[in-house]
Structure 1
Amino acid sequence: MKMRAQTAIEYMFMLAAVLLLVVIVFKVVMDTMRTLSDSVGDYAKVVRQRLLENL
């Protein structure tokens, strides 16, 4: 019985580690998407201003 309990605890720790990695990857992806969105928005604003200046 002790071996089964130890194995169950080890699986719980592995699951916790995997979930932690998933959360970290999700946060990095969301931060990257936010930065990319801001960069594209700023670029579009600059292009729009230059187009209006050249009219």
Structure 2
Amino acid sequence: MRRNAQGALEYLFMLAAVLVLVLMAARVVLNGVRNMNEAINNYVEQVRQEILEDL
């Protein structure tokens, strides 16, 4: 009985570690997407201003 409980705890700890890694990876990806979106918005705004100045 004790060996089964130890195995279950080890499994839960591994699952928790995997979830933490997945959350960290998702956070990095979301921050990258947010930064890329901001850069694209800034570029679009700059191009829009240049187009309006040329009219």
TM-score by length of 1: 0.94
Q: Give the Å deviation of 1:48.
A: 0.3
Deviation track 1:22-48 (CA, whole Å, cap 9, x = no partner) reads 110111111111101100000000000
Percent identity, aligned pairs only, is: 45
Give RMSD over aligned pairs.
0.6
Q: TM-score, normalised by structure 2?
A: 0.94
Q: Name 2:4's counterpart in structure 1.
A: 4
Spell out the pairing of 1:16-35 with structure 2 (5 A cutoff).
Answer: 16-35=16-35
1:21 Cα shift? 0.6
Residues 28-43 of structure 1 correspond to what in structure 2 (within 5 A)? Answer: 28-43=28-43
Q: After TM superposition, where is structure 1 displaced by more than 2 Å over at least 4 residues in a row?
A: none
Instruction: Point out where structure 2 has 5 or more consecutive residues left out of the alignment.
Output: none
In structure 1, runs of 5+ residues without a counterpart are none
Give 2:50's aligned residue. 50
